Structure 1
Amino acid sequence: MAAAKRISDEPAFVLHSYDWSESSLILEVFCRRQGRVALVAKGAKKPSSNFRPVLLPLQPLLVTYTLAGDGTADIHSLKGAEWVGGHVMPTGDALLSGLYLNELLLRLLARADPHAALFDAYAGVVRVLASEHGDALEPVLRSFELLLLREIGLLPSLDAQTMTFAPLQATARYTLVPEGGLRISSDADRAGLPGRQWQALQRALDDAASYTATLRACVPVAAELKPQLRALLQYHCGSPTLRTRQLMIDLQSL
C-alpha cells in the first residue's frame, strides 16, 4: 500500500474549529499553498495534547498533515502544528474584526483553491489587529475586503461604470451596488465616492504591492466604503447575516 502523501510545514491560520468527538476537533484552515482545507485534529481537546494551546484563530502556524485516500477527500489528518509567533492574540474590537474576516473566508473561498497573495494580505491584517494601532482598524478591514472580492472575481473594475463601461468622471459620484456594480450615485444612495477616488483604489489594487497600496488608498475613504462593501459581501455570502456581523450589531446596541 502506498504511503499517504504528506504536506509538511505549510504556513496556515485556523479559521474555525468544530467538535468531532469528545476529544477531537475538525479544523477549517487557510493555508498559503493549499488554500482552505479541513483537518481532523485527533485528541486535540485532551488536556495533555500538544495541539491544545496551539490551534487558535488569528495565530500564524506551520502545519503538517497527511492527505486522506487519493487526496480528494474532504477531511485530512493533522499530524503537527507549530506556532510561528510574532504577535499576541488580538482583543476587543480587533478580535471581533479578525473573526469577521475568518467568516468571510469560510463563506467565500472554495476548498483546495490556493490564494497565496490573499494569504499574505491576511497575515498582514492579523499583525495589525494584534498591534496597538486601533486607528488603522477600519482601513485595514476595507482593504482586505477589496482584495478578497478582487481575488475571487467578485469585484467589478473600479475605473469604469460596470453596465456601460463608460469611464469615470473625476468629480462625479459613483456607488458600488450588489446588483449593478459601479454606477452613478442617485439621490437614494446613502454612500458614494468621487470618480477620482474609485480610480485611485483601482490603481492600488493593480499595484505590485497591492496590500500596502490598497491600505493607503482606503485611509481617506474607509467610512464611505464600509456600507458599500458590506452590502456587496452580504449579497455574495447569501443569507443569513454573517454571525460575527450580527454580534457586532448586537454589542453596539447594548
Structure 2
Amino acid sequence: MALAYVLHRRPYLDDAALAELLLDDDSRAGAVVRGMAAKKSHKRAAMQPFVLLELSLAGQGDLKNARAIEVKRPHGLAGNALYAGFYINELLVRLVPRGADTDGLFALYQQTLLALATGEVEPVLRRFELSLCHRLGYGIDLWRDSEGRPLTPEGRYQLQPELGLVADLKGPYAGQQLLAMAQDHWQEEAVRRTAKQFCRALLAPLLGDKPLKSRELFRLAGGVQ
C-alpha cells in the first residue's frame, strides 16, 4: 500500500480514468483507475486533487493499475489557494518524470498544501518553487554569486541558470531582496515582486514554450501567482 495524491486525471477507455499520482516514496506514477463510470462510485469521489489517498499499485512498466483506494484526508483549498494548488500540480506533472525519485518531494507537497490552506498564498508558492528547483537539481544559491562571493545588500545581480547569480551593476535583482528571500522574509512588497520575477526566470528554461494552463486560470481569477 502507498500514500498518494492525484496531480491530474483524465478519462480513459469506457469506465476508467488515467491519473498522474505523487507517491510517498517521492516518485510520480501513472495509474489506470477502473470503475469510474458508476454513479455511486467511491473512486470517482476519491480521485480528486488535494486528497490524501491510500491505495495499491499493480503491474509492470510505466502505467500501473490502482486498486483498494481509500480516502485518508482531504485538504480544503478555496479561492487563490485552490488556483495555487492547481499550479503546483501542473508544475509537478510538467517537471517531474514518471518514475523519477525526487528526494523529499512528497513531504514538500504535503507541507505546501497545509500552508496554502492556512497562510498567505504568495510566499507559499515562492518557497515551493525554490524548493522544487533545488530538488530537481536546478537550485540557485541565494547567499553567494557564481564566483563564490557573498551577496551584498547593495549589489545588483542577473540570473544565469547554468551558472547562478552573476554580479552585474545593471542586473534586475537587488542583493537586498535576494538575501531576504534566502532568509524566508516576505513582508516587503519589493521582496515578493523580486521573488516572483526570479522564480519565473528560474523555471522558464525547464518549462519551455508551452504555457501553463493554471497561470491563465490564476490571471482570470485575479490571483497573485
TM-score (norm 1): 0.77
1:196–1:27 CA distance, 2 compared to 1 (3 A): closer
User: 2: distance between equivalents of 1:87 and 1:77?
Assistant: 25
Equivalent position of 1:46 in the other structure? 38
Picking from 72, 77, 80, the partner of 2:65 is 77
Alignment check: 8 A CA contact 1:234 1:241 kept: no
Instruction: Find 1:234's aligned residue among 175, 192, 204.
Output: 204
Q: Deviations over 1:140-196 (max 9, x none)?
A: 11001110000010113222222x33332343233435465312354362x434287
| CA-CA distance at 1:34 after TM superposition | 5.2
Residue from 208, 213, 224 that aligns with 1:243: 213
Aligned to 2:150: 167
1:109 corresponds to which residue?
96
Tell me the amino acid that sits aligned with residue 93 of structure 1. N
What does residue range 174-213 of structure 1 map to in structure 2 within 5 Å?
174-178=157-161, 181-187=164-170, 189=172, 191-194=173-176, 197=179, 201=182
TM-aligned CA deviation for residue 58 of structure 1:
1.2
Q: How does 1:140-159 map to 2 (within 5 A)?
A: 140-159=124-143
Rounded to whole Å, the distance in 2 between the matches of 1:161 and 1:16 is 37
Q: Is the CA contact 2:36–2:44 (under 8 Å) kept in the aligned structure 1? A: yes
Structure 1 pair 195–50 and aligned structure 2 pair: CA distance change class (3 A): closer
Mind listing any 5+ residue stretches in structure 1 that lack a counterpart?
A: 1-7, 205-215
With structure 2 as the length reference, what TM-score do the two structures score?
0.87
Q: How big is the shift at 1:54?
A: 0.7
Aligned to 1:138: 122
**Counterparts of 1:118 and 1:128, CA distance in 2:** 15
Which amino acid in 1 is paired with 2:154? T
Distance of aligned partners of 1:115 and 1:107 in 2 relative to their CA distance in 1, 3 Å threshold? same
Count residues in correspondence: 221
Which secondary structure state, in structure 1, belongs to the residue aligned with residue 124 of structure 2? helix
Aligned to 1:21: 13
For 1:104 and 1:196, the matched residues in 2 are separated by 23
Contact 1:139/1:219 (8 A) holds in 2: no
Following the alignment from structure 1 to structure 2, what is the Cα–Cα distance between the partners of residues 240 and 27?
A: 21
Which structure shows the higher strand fraction? 2
What is the one-letter code of the residue matched to 1:244? S
Q: State the distance in 2 between where 1:92 and 1:153 align.
A: 32
State the AA in 2 paired with 1:229: C
1:244/1:182 CA distance change after superposition, 3 Å: same
Structure 2 residue matching 1:130: 3-state secondary structure: helix
1:168 partner letter: L
Q: Which amino acid aligns with 1:139?
A: P
Structure 1 counterpart of 2:142, which letter? L
| C-alpha RMSD of the superposition | 2.4
1:31-56 Cα offsets, whole Å, 9 max, x none, are 12151000000112321322111111
Q: 1:124 aligns with which of 111, 120, 128?
A: 111
Letter in 1 for 2:124: V
**Contact 1:63 1:81 (C-alpha < 8 Å) held by counterparts:** yes
